[in-house]
Chains A and B, each alone.
Chain A
Amino acid sequence: MLLHIGAFQLDVNSQGNTPWHGLAPRTRVLFALLFVFATALTPNERWGTWLIYAVGLMGLIILSRAALSVLLKRVAVESSFISVVLLGTLFRGGGTVLWQWGWLQITSVGLAVLGSVTTKALLCLLMLNLLVLTTSIPALLHALAELKMPSLLVAILASMYRYIGVLIEEFATMRRAAASRNLLSTARGKRLVTGNMIGSLFIRTYERGERVHHAMLSRGYTGLPPTIECPQGRLQDRWAIVTWVILLLLGQVVYFL
């Protein structure tokens, strides 16, 4: 699922000069959270709601001028989940049977679930990818802290983000060393070497953690992550949030009309 990690720079479009980029990162994170929760938690078969949400999302994507090719490519890689719902659709009873072949049958209920779940998942993926594409990771972490995520947790997240690349490099080095000694030629050898590599990397990781800790202490670290001051929301951010919430509520109301 992490195939696109190859392009580790996630925020391809973080330097933009559009209304979307003009919003504070905190507002953008709030946009995405509201949208994802509203979309994903709407019960199945409310097509009108998702139509409105899709229009709103399209507006955001156009407004942000995000690289459409990158956005769609990432969503395509992440969309392999459809196979699971398809499985559930093929073997489901209930409703009228539309097509049957031995054990397999497609019913109206199955199709409705397939359509609903796929729509919801795709909309959420598009929104989150838009956020990550246009917002740098430090800004995202900062925004999470401003949104009252515990500062200890944010500090751990930031520290993890800093070392992912380092550890992956280290793994690659170990693997290269094993491959150059021809130890990865059999399946058994691969398992043995991978297991030992993981054990060995844990020891290195732990020692690195202690080293980092000492370095932090030497700079006067007291165990308390730095507090993040929270700037007052500007007028445009507030207006944007209000508009967005009205749109999301409108989508819910449409169902009852």
Chain B
Amino acid sequence: MSNFAGSIFRGSLHEMLFPQLALHIPDGFLSLPVSLVTWGIAIALIATALDRVKGERQDQTVPLMGVCAAFIFAAQMINFPIPGGTSGHLLGGTLAGVLLGPWAGTLVMTVVFIVQAALFQDGGLTVLGANVFNMGLIGTFGGYYLYKVLRSSLGFNSWRGMSFGVTIASWTSVVIASVATAIQLALSGTVPLAVALTAMLGWHILIGIGEAIITLMATSYVWKVRPDLLYDPPQRSPLPRSLVQR
């Protein structure tokens, strides 16, 4: 296991310089009130998600959530080029929501953040609540419901509705999460609001494009190969029409 890193991600200079614009806030960046409020929300969210998922998946919970969290963790490590010349990596909030549903998706994302904060110091412990709030609640929960509304209004069982929903929801969730991060940084007095918003938005409008493309590709693959694995599978005739008609 020692040399898989080199083969998977080449840390470009950009990644070295701008990882913190990638929404993982470190310890010491948020003030006491902001930390407390976001921790409170995050604990309530985690408790509800655990409860819901346990009711939904029964004794499948531990193995399924475990491997899916490992999946998101691995997917986040892959760099890919974003149109415009930079490179980025997946955040995966909306992808988790679309594939696993809002509660399981949120739980999986939370588990990923806990492991990143506790073992890899990628994002702090005191700000874990804020990170869960930004990317678990806004990114996954918000992203899932935005996707669902869009997909329902454009045709629930058509690829057109699905693709629009996924693309717009994944871009929007990343951008809104970055706005939330900027507001938290400003409320804590770490970075002035105007600067935080400019830097965060400017960077994440671009990052969001990459997120949208990759999320769209990944869901299109699942849609083609195993649509039954989607949380909201499309209703289709069991066999392709050409076979049914014969």
9 intermolecular pairs with C-beta atoms under 8 Å apart: A41-B35, A88-B195, A124-B126, A159-B67, A160-B69, A171-B75, A171-B77, A172-B8, A202-B71
CA distance in complex: A39, B27 (Å): 9
Our pick among A80, A87, A113 for the contact of B199 (Cβ within 8 Å) is: A87
Tell me which residues from 1 to 53 in chain A have a Cβ below 8 Å from any Cβ of chain B: 1-10, 33, 36-37, 39-41, 43-44
Answer whether residue A227 sits at the interface, using C-beta atoms and an 8 A cutoff: no
Query: Interface residues of B toward A: which range?
Result: 35 or more
Asked if B122 contacts A210 (CB within 8 A), the reply is no
Asked if A43 contacts B32 (CB within 8 A), the reply is yes
State whether A198 and B68 are in contact (beta carbons under 8 Å apart), knowing that A39-B28, A40-B28, A203-B226 are contacts in the complex: no
State whether A33 and B26 are in contact (beta carbons under 8 Å apart), knowing that A1-B120, A205-B67 are contacts in the complex: no
Asked if A202 contacts B218 (CB within 8 A), the reply is yes
- In the bound complex, residues from chain A placing their C-beta under 8 Å from that of B222 are 199, 202-203
Whole-angstrom distance between the Cβ of B203 and the nearest chain A Cβ: 11
Instruction: Look across to chain B and name the residue whose beta carbon is closest to the beta carbon of A213.
Output: B63
Interface residues of B (CB under 8 A from A): 1-8, 11, 16-22, 24, 26-32, 35, 46-47, 50, 54, 58-71, 73-75, 77-78, 80-81, 83, 90, 95, 99, 107, 111-112, 114-116, 118-122, 124-127, 185, 189-192, 194-196, 199, 210, 213-222, 225-226, 229
Asked if A162 contacts B66 (CB within 8 A), the reply is yes
A interface residues, tally (CB under 8 Å): 95
Asked if B5 contacts A191 (CB within 8 A), the reply is no
Asked if B121 contacts A41 (CB within 8 A), the reply is no
CA distance in complex: A43, B125 (Å): 17
Whole-angstrom distance between the Cβ of A201 and the nearest chain B Cβ: 6
Whole-angstrom distance between the Cβ of B8 and the nearest chain A Cβ: 6
CA distance in complex: A242, B191 (Å): 36
Asked if B90 contacts A198 (CB within 8 A), the reply is yes
Q: Give the segment of A54-62, A149-157, A232-240 that binds chain B.
A: A149-157
Answer whether residue A217 sits at the interface, using C-beta atoms and an 8 A cutoff: yes
Whole-angstrom distance between the Cβ of A224 and the nearest chain B Cβ: 8
- In the bound complex, residues from chain A placing their C-beta under 8 Å from that of B111 are 153, 156-157, 160
Asked if B126 contacts A36 (CB within 8 A), the reply is yes
State whether A191 and B20 are in contact (beta carbons under 8 Å apart), knowing that A199-B220, A201-B74 are contacts in the complex: no
Instruction: Look across to chain B and name the residue whose beta carbon is closest to the beta carbon of A194.
Output: B80
With A40-B127, A157-B66, A201-B75 known, 4 other A-B pairs at CB within 8 A are: A1-B122, A85-B29, A169-B4, A210-B63
- What DSSP secondary structure best describes chain A's contact surface? helix
Our pick among B27, B66, B118 for the contact of A124 (Cβ within 8 Å) is: B27
Answer whether residue A255 sits at the interface, using C-beta atoms and an 8 A cutoff: no
Max count, chain B CB within 10 A of own CB: residue among A150, A198, A223: A198
- In the bound complex, residues from chain B placing their C-beta under 8 Å from that of A83 are 17-18, 20
Whole-angstrom distance between the Cβ of B183 and the nearest chain A Cβ: 14
Instruction: Look across to chain A and name the residue whose beta carbon is closest to the beta carbon of B120.
Output: A2
CA distance in complex: A199, B225 (Å): 9
- In the bound complex, residues from chain B placing their C-beta under 8 Å from that of A210 are 60, 63-64
Max count, chain A CB within 10 A of own CB: residue among B3, B120, B222: B120
Asked if A2 contacts B17 (CB within 8 A), the reply is no
Asked if A156 contacts B69 (CB within 8 A), the reply is yes
CA distance in complex: A210, B68 (Å): 11
Answer whether residue A183 sits at the interface, using C-beta atoms and an 8 A cutoff: no
CA distance in complex: A40, B123 (Å): 13
Interface string of A206-229 (1 = CB under 8 A from B): 101110110011000111010000
Asked if A124 contacts B124 (CB within 8 A), the reply is yes
Answer whether residue A78 sits at the interface, using C-beta atoms and an 8 A cutoff: yes
Answer whether residue A128 sits at the interface, using C-beta atoms and an 8 A cutoff: yes
- In the bound complex, residues from chain B placing their C-beta under 8 Å from that of A37 are 125-126
Answer whether residue A168 sits at the interface, using C-beta atoms and an 8 A cutoff: yes
State whether A212 and B122 are in contact (beta carbons under 8 Å apart), knowing that A88-B192, A190-B81, A191-B217 are contacts in the complex: no
